[in-house]
Structure 1
Amino acid sequence: MHSRNKAFVLRMSMQSLVVLALVLDFLVPCPGMTAPPSEPDDDAFDIESYDLTSETEWENLDINVYEDSYNYNDLDQESEVDEAPDISPLAKQSPTQHYEEEVTLPPAPFNLDFKGPGLFGPETALGMPTCLLCVCIGGSVYCDDMGLHQIPPLPKDTRHLYCRFNNIRHVKNTDFINLDKLKSIDLTGNQISGMDEDVFQSLPQLQELLLADNNLQMMPELPITMKRIDLRNNRLSSQGVHSEGFKDMSQLEFLYLSNNNLDYIPTPLPLSLKVLHLQNNKIQFLHEDTFCNLNDLNFIRRNLEDIRLDGNPLNINLFAKAYVCLPRIPIGNN
């Protein structure tokens, strides 16, 4: 590249010298200044015939003289830029900037020392609030299908407990201490075979107890505030139900005792009762005063409209006097 540029500059410089010589020749005055200038010899100054390409002239030409008067660095730089390949758009972008990745740290763990009121309740003996194990919403605690083997410690403001489909086998009288607001307990679908006798006696507002699909043989004592009792699909016998256990429950409306081993109806039944399901037991006999009052022939049990006795070894046609005071005849085998 340098030899080509030097030849180009040399050729241009020589042509400039020729032109300069012609100009000076015309400007030199003739002797005496009186005679008109002599006409130049066309042949002598014919640019086309002015040959500088002979080998002798090229060899005697001092190129260094022209190199000193011209800066080849600028020409080289310009030539290199012109012949450089096209730069891709990505290469023309600014240098890659290094960014520090922003990392979001996980939230701080719950304060296990929390003892005030609120969603998570008081600290428990397990060292963590109950609602970290269960779901607590507005006084309701949901612990369904969690593989629990015991009732978890509950927040003091618990009103409804749903602890269905777990592996609980025994319910202790310490499981519901200081739960004055508890109204309903649902332990359906566990493996409960035993309960402490006074396990529910410390609950002044308990109204619903659902213990269906367990292995209970005895029913624990219940507070008189009960409205709904569900003991279906257990192993209850008549000896496992306390005598007159439902007598004082003046608010009891729903009593479900189907699919057990009862051989008689647990009487007396409160007047508030609306639904009594006893199907699929071992009941064979009905007393005349099971539902009615033999001392008051005008007595009518108006609320009890749904009695199920089907699936028992009992012919309801044989005990007509037992339900003459009922608004509807029980459903059973004829």
Structure 2
Amino acid sequence: MRMFVRLVLGLFVLKAAVASPRFSRQANLDIYDDANYDEELNNVESEDTYDYEDGLTIDEPEIEIETMALPDYTFPEEEKPEEGEEEELTLRPQPIPQGSGGSGVLMGPETQKEERVLSTTPETPQEGATSIEETDSSGLPEPFEPKEPDEPKIDISGMPTCLLCTCLGTSVYCDDLKLDSVPPLPKETTHFYARYNKITKINKSDFAFMNKLKRVDLTANEITAIDGTAFIGLPELEELVVRQNHLTQLPALPETMTLIDASHNSIGSKGIHKEAFKDMTGLLFLYLTDNNIDYIPVPLPESLRSLHLQRNNIQMMHEDTFCNLNDFNYIRNALEDIRLDGNPINLSKTPQAYVCLPRIPIGNLI
């Protein structure tokens, strides 16, 4: 039985081989004679016709015809140098022209390679060739480096004030212009503002013959002194503001004053003239905050509404500072705002000093 199966399988293999076109081409080269070749060819063709018509059955084993795979062929690549090995470049001597000009040699691929290798070794200077250090010291201008602009210095000499400052009607505004002195003002000026400057002193001539001047504001300057008669000759002056300066003495002022603000200075006990405010019958606001005053500058005019003396060195107060002890019916209705907080004074020790006031002063009661 096994022999029979092998015989059948061999027959099928033979049929498949005969049906292959390769077999037909190979048959022409065989050494068989023509008669045997024709007989065998007829037998093969008849068997092929029968088999192809019937087809393979399920019981018959399938025959896989292996196709010959083409061998992988890799094209030869250029040999690459192993890691760690550097490409060796041949050095070709190039003539170096003498003189201070350029080399004049055209740079190609080969010369670039040579330059890359040569760059690893320091070059020796040639005669006549200029180096970078020599070029820097040859007197050529150095590259321009922008510098921070300095603060502009304003020269007010000969310049019209209304060109330097801002003039609106009869008011002159010279705020924050880094002025170190008062500029010449038009004679018609009524309000002058020169805040946040660097003015250090007020001279007698700064406001001379300013007969219409009503307000002067010199806040936040560096004023250390004011001439004693700088404001006394101004018949219309009503308001003076010299806050945040370095004054140690309050100047003499005309009787027309309604507002005086000399807060944040260094005015001491001797910095205010005796009875300096007595004749100012129209004075409404007196601000002397943050100074070194050790007493309340009495007598104060009846017109005064607001008195600010906080953060000074006032230690005591008399009972007749604001009221009249000889007249118990006396009432001082105008003075409604008195600030004494921040002083080493106990207001509860002088209760009779406030009986004529509409409000008790603000300060320490202990």
Query: Within 5 Å, which residues of 2 pair with 1:166-315?
Result: 166-315=197-346
Alpha-carbon RMSD across the aligned residues, in angstroms, is 1.0
Query: Within 5 Å, which residues of 2 pair with 1:55-66?
Result: none
Shift of residue 321, structure 1, vs aligned partner: 1.2
Equivalent AA in structure 1 for residue 243 of structure 2: A
Shift of residue 166, structure 1, vs aligned partner: 0.4
> Among 329, 345, 348, which residue is 1:317 paired with?
348
- Decide which moves more: 309-318 or 287-296: 287-296
In structure 1, what is the Cα distance between the partners aligned to 2:328 and 2:308?
Answer: 25
Which position in structure 2 is the counterpart of 1:155? 186
In structure 2, what is the Cα distance between the partners aligned to 1:216 and 1:324?
Answer: 35
Identity of aligned residues (%): 58
SS at match of 2:186: coil
In structure 2, what is the Cα distance between the partners aligned to 1:223 and 1:242?
Answer: 13
Shift of residue 126, structure 1, vs aligned partner: 3.2
Equivalent AA in structure 2 for residue 270 of structure 1: P
TM (normalized to structure 1)? 0.62
Equivalent AA in structure 2 for residue 309 of structure 1: L
In structure 2, what is the Cα distance between the partners aligned to 1:181 and 1:202?
Answer: 11
Shift of residue 130, structure 1, vs aligned partner: 1.0
- Decide which moves more: 294-303 or 201-210: 294-303
In structure 2, what is the Cα distance between the partners aligned to 1:282 and 1:231?
Answer: 16
SS at match of 1:175: helix
SS at match of 1:174: helix
TM (normalized to structure 2)? 0.57
In structure 2, what is the Cα distance between the partners aligned to 1:239 and 1:333?
Answer: 25
Equivalent AA in structure 2 for residue 211 of structure 1: V
In structure 1, what is the Cα distance between the partners aligned to 2:275 and 2:334?
Answer: 20
Shift of residue 219, structure 1, vs aligned partner: 0.4
Shift of residue 322, structure 1, vs aligned partner: 1.3
Confirm or deny: 8 A CA contact 2:208 2:230 kept in the other structure: no
In structure 2, what is the Cα distance between the partners aligned to 1:213 and 1:198?
Answer: 21
Shift of residue 295, structure 1, vs aligned partner: 2.2
Equivalent AA in structure 2 for residue 154 of structure 1: L
Confirm or deny: 8 A CA contact 1:246 1:269 kept in the other structure: yes
Confirm or deny: 8 A CA contact 1:291 1:325 kept in the other structure: yes
Confirm or deny: 8 A CA contact 1:238 1:266 kept in the other structure: no
In structure 2, what is the Cα distance between the partners aligned to 1:238 and 1:321?
Answer: 25
In structure 2, what is the Cα distance between the partners aligned to 1:249 and 1:289?
Answer: 20
Equivalent AA in structure 1 for residue 360 of structure 2: I
CA deviations on 1:34-57 (whole Å, 9 max, x unpaired) are: xxxxxxxxxxxxxxxxxxxxxxxx
Confirm or deny: 8 A CA contact 1:231 1:256 kept in the other structure: yes
Structure 2 unaligned blocks of 5 or more: 1-155
Query: Within 5 Å, which residues of 2 pair with 1:33-112?
Result: none
Structure 1 unaligned blocks of 5 or more: 1-124
In structure 1, what is the Cα distance between the partners aligned to 2:320 and 2:203?
Answer: 37
Q: Is 1:331 paired with 2:362? A: yes
